Structure 1
């Protein structure tokens, strides 16, 4: 198991200031019905109290008995994920009334049930409603509703049939096919677009928990970011950062944030760089089963990203031959830039999106005689060497569905 940090999220903290012309505030039952429609409705003044957050979320309020019925009494065989927050159960509801439905009918849901163990979990539960209840984007998981009844707290999401990126990258079962290069680049782009939306001037949210287990996939490998319990409003006015208690997932957090508690959008960029390196290598951010010098993926492989002679040693052998050397260099260069020690040297997420869009080009992603081994690199004089950027590092986690974090790291 890896580790996470704990979080101090203020329930009264405003999540966003508005919506842009493309994506924005979620509207009524369209959201609960899981439509992909987006809204340009202006966002009202941000709620500050728990009651206001719950009342203004436009989410379905479920009773505990409704979710108990929808998940077949929270049967163990309906569990699709579990972690520090609690268990996630698969269930079914009617697509119009949202009442419990028979298995195999209506809308498939994922009901995340909070462990009844403390106030911190409640704050993260409320933060999810605060953010996902108000934001709408194709690359954010849709929150359908919630349950707050006695000591029971649940969140109800759209169900993502292919689970998490974590499972696809790291599960080594015979029936699990390795993700192809094209799927990896598609997933990277979808995640980047979701984060770019959060960072936009209209939203200004720092995700703070970017990791493979929070990147969910639908049946077509489209990305939905999940688990906003640690999300934080970005700096406003002339402030350059937000000062917070350090939290997130150990292994993905930016070094300057770990050292100072100063949180910026570039902290998310670093975390995305760690995820991209995991996708390129097929290796976890931290793995104590590897030799000691290789425990930390960033510390081990980052120097290879800027070496034409060594860069292909980074790449997952299971996808050898599926990409050109040019594509490999571009992807490695992007990962290296995102992982720069100096935050100002990292690209913003809009730049990341543009670079990943270039890697969706079939001509760049097809078979190539230069995609096999280190010898090809030495002969590839036409490929520019990406500039060096800094160093950075920490430790990781794994999980399978929304809100299944590992143990939390407190600082």
Structure 2
């Protein structure tokens, strides 16, 4: 059930409906056609003849220094001969070669500023590798949790900018035909580029990644845990968890905290039942040191509460989330809009 958060807007009685799927078209065996909804009333057709680059194993060894003993599901940075900076990841081996190549081809056609670009692949014996653009600032988790004493925490404006990027990446996937369900939102899977530009990682190849074999428990939806049901609203729920992480600075699951505070969603939803400014202000990350616009804090908690609705059909669509989180990102700390 939706919880009214003081300072947040009431949820609409009915969210806008998702746009109807476009009719299938026959593009012939030599073309892959992806239909991408840019807006609710505009569809852009992409005919993609470009193939992902097939790397020789020796090229990747030269680029990274050594891959022969690299661990599964870890990124290894390197420079190609043309100077391009890339990240190489070794995947697990229990999938068929044709299945892997087909998935890599499809994923390489995804083109959005908030999705990590897959450049190419490599097969070497039974080993399989994927090559991505390098995200120099690492994962969101590296900048949000367990910070060393000399590391500056993320400020409010940066956190909301990161949330906006994640929402826009999800919107792109959900508006494809058929919709692509990401399923694996977590602070570990959101990678950051220059200026803390956020991108979704491992889109489409998560099934080949050992750490994605089970979605991190703290991001699971109730319906997934109960009956294994997955939909685009599963991503919406997980986004709500991520938004809570950004606001509170807490991990989705933290077994080092006292009983009752180990599960972020359970702890936050309990506090959100209280219509109290004091209670909600206490949820903000202490590392922010009160440097955030109060109205934006209440609005962010309101949006997270809507995303975490236990009933999937009552969670907002991704377009609504993008609109709201974009407003949050525009309300920078210290601005007249933010403090009004």
- Output the TM-score relative to the length of structure 1: 0.66
Are 1:163 and 2:138 matched, yes or no? yes
Distance 1:348 1:172, change over 3 A: same
Moved more, 184-193 or 85-94: 85-94
Are 1:174 and 2:161 matched, yes or no? no
Separation (CA, whole Å) in 2 of partners of 1:124 and 1:336: 38
Q: Map 1:191-340; keep pairs closer than 5 Å.
A: 191-228=166-203, 229-230=205-206, 247-309=214-276, 310-340=279-309
| Superposed displacement of residue 342, structure 1 | 0.7
Name the SS for the 1:160 alignment partner.
coil
Alignment: residue pair count: 297
| Superposed displacement of residue 302, structure 1 | 1.6
| Superposed displacement of residue 40, structure 1 | 5.2
Distance 1:183 1:127, change over 3 A: farther
Q: Provide, for residues 124-148 of structure 1, a one-character-per-residue CA deviation record: whole Å limited to 9, x for no partner.
A: 9557615421211111001110001
RMSD: 3.0
8 Å contact from structure 1 (residues 139, 190) kept in 2: yes
Are 1:109 and 2:86 matched, yes or no? yes
8 Å contact from structure 2 (residues 63, 81) kept in 1: no
8 Å contact from structure 1 (residues 181, 365) kept in 2: yes
8 Å contact from structure 2 (residues 139, 187) kept in 1: yes
Q: Map 1:3-402; keep pairs closer than 5 Å.
A: 18-20=34-36, 42-43=46-47, 58-74=51-67, 85-95=72-82, 106-115=83-92, 118-119=93-94, 129-228=104-203, 229-230=205-206, 247-309=214-276, 310-362=279-331, 365-366=333-334
Distance 1:180 1:122, change over 3 A: farther
For structure 1, the residue ranges without an aligned partner over 5 or more in a row are 1-15, 24-38, 45-55, 96-105, 232-245, 372-381, 383-411
Distance 1:169 1:352, change over 3 A: same
Separation (CA, whole Å) in 2 of partners of 1:248 and 1:120: 19
Name the SS for the 1:110 alignment partner.
strand
8 Å contact from structure 1 (residues 86, 114) kept in 2: yes
8 Å contact from structure 1 (residues 206, 268) kept in 2: yes
For structure 2, the residue ranges without an aligned partner over 5 or more in a row are 1-31, 208-212
Separation (CA, whole Å) in 2 of partners of 1:359 and 1:261: 33
- Output the TM-score relative to the length of structure 2: 0.79
8 Å contact from structure 1 (residues 64, 152) kept in 2: no
Distance 1:200 1:90, change over 3 A: same
8 Å contact from structure 2 (residues 55, 120) kept in 1: yes
Separation (CA, whole Å) in 2 of partners of 1:352 and 1:108: 33
